[in-house]
Each structure stands twice: as C-alpha cells, then as structure tokens.
Amino acid sequence: MFWFIRHEHEVGATDGRWDAHLAKWLGLIPPVDRFVRVEGAVVSLDDLTARDYVSSVPLDLDHLTTAAS
C-alpha cells in the first residue's frame, strides 16, 4: 500500500482531483518483485492510524532516479 500524504488544508479529496493524481502515480509503479499488486490512497495524517504511519517505509522522493544510465 502506497500512502500519498497530503496536507490537511489541501481540499479536493472528494471531488476527484486526488483520484486522478493517484491513478497517474500508481500507474508509474510497475507490479514486479515484491509489488505484485500496486495499491494506494491519498490521505491526510488524520486519516491514518499511528500504526499505519509508524509501520510504513518512507520514500525519499528527492533522491529517486527516473531511468538507468
């Protein structure tokens, strides 16, 4: 499960805007190796339980690469 955490003040979670972003982001993750099924949700911290947050593995988006050289 990929959690995409948005700021609480960012509205639009119910108007389809985040659904469109989510579909695009999940489409970038190929279902291979340990990710046999790719699922995700756009949430605020208030939407997550403490267990969900603590047991998750953060991705460092500032240091990802987009293609092999």
Residues 29-62: pLDDT tens digits? 888 887 788 899 998 888 899 999 888 888 766 6
| Count of structural domains, the chain | 1
Residue 37 forms part of a structural domain? yes
Residue 25 forms part of a structural domain? yes
Residue 65 forms part of a structural domain? no
- What type of residue is 11? V
Largest CA distance in the chain: 40
Residue 66 forms part of a structural domain? no
- Print the domain residue range for 14: 2-58
Cβ 17 vs Cβ 4: under 8 Å: no
Residue 31 to residue 20: CA distance in whole angstroms: 19
Residue 69 forms part of a structural domain? no
What pTM does this model have?
Answer: 0.68
